[in-house]
Amino acid sequence: MRKTLWVVVSVLALGCGKDINKAFDDMADRACQCKDKACGEKMLDEFVAFVRDNSDSGDFERGRKAGEKFGKCVLAAGVTPDELLDKMKEAQKLLH
């Protein structure tokens, strides 16, 4: 299950254009500041909106690293793996 989450987050991060990678890095940093589930859930909603608004191709490795960091941080804040996966699926649908 965890491997699936990282793959989904990483694949979604691929949609980030080079100029967008900085914004995604910043979002991952903000997710790591979350201390509770409500904050983690808010970051997931922000991530879905981010994917909806930014669908350029970009720096794969940078996006993958930010995606992994983001996922780990929202999980640490209390978001369940199933909740994370559901939001990632929602965001993935926006890319197609």
Other CB atoms within a 10 A radius of the CB of residue 38 amount to 12
User: How is the chain split among helix, strand and coil, in percent rounded to 5?
Assistant: 75, 0, 25
Residue 35, both tokens:
């201390």
Per-residue pLDDT of the chain (96 residues; tens, 9 = 90+): 555 555 455 545 555 455 678 888 999 999 999 999 999 999 999 988 888 887 665 577 787 888 899 999 999 999 999 999 999 888 888 776
Structure-block tokens of residue 94: 């926006």
Say what the pLDDT of residue 65 is: 86
